[in-house]
Structure 1
Amino acid sequence: MDHEKVNILLVDDQPAKLLAYEVILKELGENLVVASSGREALEVLLKTEIAVILVDVCMPELDGFELAAMIREHPRFQKTAMIFISAIQVSDIDRLRGYEMGAVDYVPVPVIPEVLRAKVKVFAELYRKTRELERLNQDLEDRVRARTAELENSTAKLRESEERRTMAIAAGKMGSWDWDWVSGDWMWDDGQYRIFGVSPENFEVNPVNVQALLHPDDVDQLRKAIAEFNKGTRAYETEFRIVRPDGEVRWCVGTAAASADANGRVVRVSGVTVDITERKRAEERQNLLAREVDHRAKNALALAQSIVRLTRADEVKAYVSAVEGRINALARVHTILSLSSWQGAELSKLIEEELAPYSLGGQIKLAGPEVQLVPATAQTLALALHELFTNSAKYGALSTRSGRLAISWQADNDLLILTWDETGGPMVRTPKSRGFGTRSLLASVESQLGGQAQFDWRSEGLLCRLEVPLTHKSAATATAQDKFETNSPPELQRASG
């Protein structure tokens, strides 16, 4: 069998002996290196990797024992095999000394070739196997290091991936779970506990406890999912509600996938739960807003239709001006309500929008607390204020630069009390009959809002007091036009016919 040759160092001061050793050991097929002195042997050792040293005990300058001691002092040669050849009778004391110096065996003279070859062959093979084992160990260590580095890199990537997954689950309000279908054991991650509003310390995950957290109307979803998996379904998704221990109801969507054994029986179900409560609430708000916008649009159109039908004037220009003014008043309050998503309108903002077209500087003073009006009240009150401003600009305090208008309001026990006080304008006389603006104002405040409108036609200016319930709720089935026309005074209803 081909094998890597090793170096065998032959040390003796007599050339004839060296030649004899070479002849004897040539059959081994190894590299034979000769040295005629101890010093020469040391030089060879420093330059060449030696497997076995065959050394004569009796040599001038450095004998075999001294050479062995020097060789053993070097860390590189502490395990190199050395065989002593002695031409004298070696005592037990000498053998012990030789072994202490590092000898591994003795060969007496005359040398028996078969014995010498056998001894050298054993140690050469041992050296070869040792080197092969070292190479294998080194290769194994290299592979272990490479595999360890690969595993560490894989572990780091897995840890990083798990951290990203955990962050994604937390950010997405998700939780993951695992259910051993055979043993019934459950495993939840932190996201799952967070969604259900419980903690690992005080909640045991089992079918009974989990079912107790489901909304009573959605418990059948769990039973249906179990039935589907038992029938062979491998994936299932459904929306359901949970009721947290604090009573809060949350909407979730659950996705589950089943794992089966070789016989097709379900052994494990894993899944993800996503909290979609905010999405559900957003959908509800969107649907509510859509219905509200539809209702408000119809209501605004009905009001506009009522304004067009009930407005009266002696000429077309006056009629157009009156209609445009009332439609613009309706548009302004509609803008205010739109900005609040139809949640309501601030009374002061409503008044400021109505007086904006007049640009009268310091003629008007406002005083009152913040009062929030519901959309229906805001629309009706905006039209009433428009009539007051229009009449004042035509005939009252706002028709002259000397006129003054003070508008004040207060809220008391869900009742809004607004005072309209004009002074400094033209002399006022009590009208013999009510105009359309006055009649529509009374109709809107008293009939639509369930409030009261009082007019005091003082000579120095009109004093009007409006009392409007802040919690007034009109009939849900009546349209704005129905309420405006049906609740109007008889003469106003006749005017529309």
Structure 2
Amino acid sequence: MDHEKVNILLVDDQPAKLLAYEVILKDLDENLVIASSGREALEVLLKTEIAVILVDVCMPELDGFELAAMIREHPRFQKTAMIFISAIQVSDIDRLRGYEMGAVDYVPVPVVPEVLRAKIKVFCELYRKTRELERLNQELEDRVRARTAELENSTAKLRESEQRRSMAIAAGKMGSWDWDWISGDWMWDEGQYRIFGVSPESFEVNPPNVQALLHPDDVDQLRKAIAEFNKGTRAYETEFRIIRPDGEVRWCVGTAAATVDDNSRVVRVSGVTVDITERKRAEERQNLLAREVDHRAKNALALAQSIVRLTRADEVKAYVSAVEGRINALARVHTILSLSSWQGAELSRLIDEELAPYSLGGQIVLAGPKVQLLPTTAQTLALALHELFTNSAKYGALSTRSGRLAIGWQVEDQLLTLSWEESGGPLVMTPKSRGFGTRSLLASVESQLGGQAQFDWRAEGLLCRLEVPLTRKTSATSASGKFEDASSAELQRASG
């Protein structure tokens, strides 16, 4: 078999002996390196990797023992095989000294070629095997280092992925869990504990404890899921509610998947829980808003229909103007309320909106604190103010440049009192009958808001006083429609 040649160093001060050694060892098919002195041998060792050294004991200047001692002092050659050749009979003490210097064997002169070749061959093979083992060990170490680096990299990526997953779960209000179907053991991650409002230190995850946190109306969902998995279902999803230890109710959606053995029996169920409480609340708000919008739209259409049907005028132009004015007043207050998400409207804002079309300069004086009106109150007062402004602009103080109007309001014990005082306009006479605007104003303020409306038709100008309770639960009645839906009925009665 072909093999990698190794270097054999032959050290002797006599050329004839070196030649003889070369002839004897030629059949080994190894590299033979010649050195005629100890110093020359040291130079060769520093430049060449040597497997076996064959050295003569008796040499001038540096004998074999001294050369062996110097070789062994170098870390590279502490295990290099050295064979001593001696032409004289050596004593046991000399042999012991040689072995102490690092010799592995002695060969006496005359040299038996077969014996020398056999000994050199053994040490060459031993060197070759040692080097092969070193290479294999190095390759194994390289593989171990590469595999270790690969595992460390994979572990780092897995850890990073787990961190991202944990962050995503936390951000998404998610939790994951695992249930050993055979042993009944549960495993929850941090997100699962957070959703249920419990801590790993104080809460033991087991079926009774988990069931105790489920909403009573949703406990059957857990039983149904278990039954489905027993029937062979591999995945299951459902919405359910939990009741945290502090009493808070949370909505969740749970997704579970089963792991089966070779016999298709469930051995493990793993899943994810997502807290969807905010989504549920948003859906409820959206549904409530949709119903509220639907109700308000119907009510607004009812009001507009009543205005159109019950408005009276001697000619078409006057009729159109009256209808447009009342519907515009209704639209303006709806705009104000929508900007506040139907939470209410500020009284002075309503008045400013009604004043905007007139451009009356300094004819009007306003005085009063900030008053926040509930939606129904704001709608009713907006229409009432529209009627007062329209009447004043046609027949009262605002119909002339000399006329003056003072609007003042105050609140005491949750009762809003608004005074409307005209002066400087045309001479006022008490009307023989009340028009639609006046009758609708009285009906809406008194019947819808539970307030009072008083009119004093003084010669110098109209004096009107409105009293409206602010604490009446008009927001609740708005949802039910009792008071808002009464508007058209009140307008019907006002037209009679």
Query: Which stretch of the first structure deviates more once superposed, 133-142 or 324-333?
Result: 133-142
* Post-superposition offset of 1:476: 9.3
CA contact (8 A) 2:333 2:382 kept: yes
* Post-superposition offset of 1:151: 1.4
Query: Which stretch of the first structure deviates more once superposed, 432-441 or 111-120?
Result: 111-120
* Post-superposition offset of 1:178: 0.9
The residue number in structure 1 matching 2:229 is: 229
Structure 2: runs of 5+ lacking an equivalent:
none
Alpha carbons of structure 1 residues 484 and 457: separation in structure 2 relative to 1, 3 Å: farther
Looking at structure 1, the residues matched to 104 and 55 of structure 2 have their Cα atoms a distance apart, in angstroms, of: 12
Summarize deviations over 1:373-415 as a string: whole Å, max 9, x none. 3332222221111111111222233233343333333344443
Looking at structure 1, the residues matched to 75 and 483 of structure 2 have their Cα atoms a distance apart, in angstroms, of: 114
* Post-superposition offset of 1:40: 2.3
RMSD of aligned residue pairs (Cα, Å): 2.8
Alpha carbons of structure 1 residues 72 and 382: separation in structure 2 relative to 1, 3 Å: same
Alpha carbons of structure 1 residues 365 and 246: separation in structure 2 relative to 1, 3 Å: farther
SS of corresponding position for 1:3: coil
The residue number in structure 1 matching 2:301 is: 301
Query: Which stretch of the first structure deviates more once superposed, 292-301 or 109-118?
Result: 109-118
CA contact (8 A) 1:306 1:481 kept: no
Summarize deviations over 1:51-94 as a string: whole Å, max 9, x none. 01010010112211222222223332222111111122223332
* Post-superposition offset of 1:110: 2.5
* Post-superposition offset of 1:496: 5.1
Looking at structure 1, the residues matched to 232 and 490 of structure 2 have their Cα atoms a distance apart, in angstroms, of: 77
CA contact (8 A) 1:447 1:488 kept: no
Query: Which stretch of the first structure deviates more once superposed, 190-199 or 427-436?
Result: 427-436
Looking at structure 1, the residues matched to 158 and 175 of structure 2 have their Cα atoms a distance apart, in angstroms, of: 19
CA contact (8 A) 2:295 2:481 kept: no
Summarize deviations over 1:27-58 as a string: whole Å, max 9, x none. 33322222222222223222221101010010
* Post-superposition offset of 1:240: 0.6
The alignment-based identity, stated in percent, is 91
* Post-superposition offset of 1:124: 1.3
Alpha carbons of structure 1 residues 197 and 331: separation in structure 2 relative to 1, 3 Å: same
CA contact (8 A) 2:426 2:460 kept: yes
CA contact (8 A) 1:7 1:32 kept: yes
CA contact (8 A) 1:440 1:488 kept: no
* Post-superposition offset of 1:8: 0.9
Query: Which stretch of the first structure deviates more once superposed, 353-362 or 177-186?
Result: 353-362
Summarize deviations over 1:269-308 as a string: whole Å, max 9, x none. 1111111111111111111111111111110110001001
Alpha carbons of structure 1 residues 429 and 20: separation in structure 2 relative to 1, 3 Å: same
Query: Which stretch of the first structure deviates more once superposed, 340-349 or 149-158?
Result: 340-349
* Post-superposition offset of 1:128: 0.8
SS of corresponding position for 2:419: strand
* Post-superposition offset of 1:25: 2.5
Query: Which stretch of the first structure deviates more once superposed, 206-215 or 337-346?
Result: 337-346
CA contact (8 A) 1:403 1:425 kept: yes
Alpha carbons of structure 1 residues 64 and 480: separation in structure 2 relative to 1, 3 Å: closer
* Post-superposition offset of 1:493: 4.8
Structure 1: runs of 5+ lacking an equivalent:
none
CA contact (8 A) 1:302 1:480 kept: no
The residue number in structure 2 matching 1:327 is: 327
User: TM-score, with normalisation over the residues of structure 1?
Assistant: 0.92
CA contact (8 A) 2:303 2:487 kept: no
CA contact (8 A) 1:404 1:425 kept: yes
CA contact (8 A) 1:8 1:54 kept: yes
Alpha carbons of structure 1 residues 334 and 105: separation in structure 2 relative to 1, 3 Å: same
Alpha carbons of structure 1 residues 488 and 268: separation in structure 2 relative to 1, 3 Å: closer
Alpha carbons of structure 1 residues 100 and 427: separation in structure 2 relative to 1, 3 Å: farther
* Post-superposition offset of 1:484: 9.7
* Post-superposition offset of 1:149: 1.6
* Post-superposition offset of 1:251: 0.8
CA contact (8 A) 2:306 2:491 kept: no
CA contact (8 A) 2:306 2:488 kept: no
CA contact (8 A) 1:303 1:480 kept: no
Query: Which stretch of the first structure deviates more once superposed, 386-395 or 24-33?
Result: 24-33
* Post-superposition offset of 1:102: 2.4
Looking at structure 2, the residues matched to 141 and 392 of structure 1 have their Cα atoms a distance apart, in angstroms, of: 103
Alpha carbons of structure 1 residues 9 and 415: separation in structure 2 relative to 1, 3 Å: same
Give the paired residue count: 496
Looking at structure 1, the residues matched to 12 and 484 of structure 2 have their Cα atoms a distance apart, in angstroms, of: 138
Alpha carbons of structure 1 residues 341 and 482: separation in structure 2 relative to 1, 3 Å: closer
Summarize deviations over 1:293-330 as a string: whole Å, max 9, x none. 11111101100010011111122111111111001001
Alpha carbons of structure 1 residues 23 and 380: separation in structure 2 relative to 1, 3 Å: same
CA contact (8 A) 1:309 1:496 kept: no
Alpha carbons of structure 1 residues 116 and 368: separation in structure 2 relative to 1, 3 Å: farther
Alpha carbons of structure 1 residues 54 and 380: separation in structure 2 relative to 1, 3 Å: same
CA contact (8 A) 1:344 1:374 kept: yes
Looking at structure 2, the residues matched to 431 and 317 of structure 1 have their Cα atoms a distance apart, in angstroms, of: 23
Looking at structure 1, the residues matched to 480 and 229 of structure 2 have their Cα atoms a distance apart, in angstroms, of: 58
Looking at structure 1, the residues matched to 475 and 487 of structure 2 have their Cα atoms a distance apart, in angstroms, of: 16
* Post-superposition offset of 1:490: 12
CA contact (8 A) 1:229 1:266 kept: yes
* Post-superposition offset of 1:19: 2.5
CA contact (8 A) 2:6 2:124 kept: yes
Query: Which stretch of the first structure deviates more once superposed, 254-263 or 110-119?
Result: 110-119
* Post-superposition offset of 1:475: 12
The residue number in structure 2 matching 1:487 is: 486
CA contact (8 A) 1:443 1:484 kept: no
CA contact (8 A) 1:451 1:469 kept: yes
Alpha carbons of structure 1 residues 242 and 362: separation in structure 2 relative to 1, 3 Å: farther
CA contact (8 A) 2:7 2:50 kept: yes
SS of corresponding position for 1:484: coil
CA contact (8 A) 1:439 1:489 kept: no
Query: Which stretch of the first structure deviates more once superposed, 142-151 or 454-463?
Result: 454-463
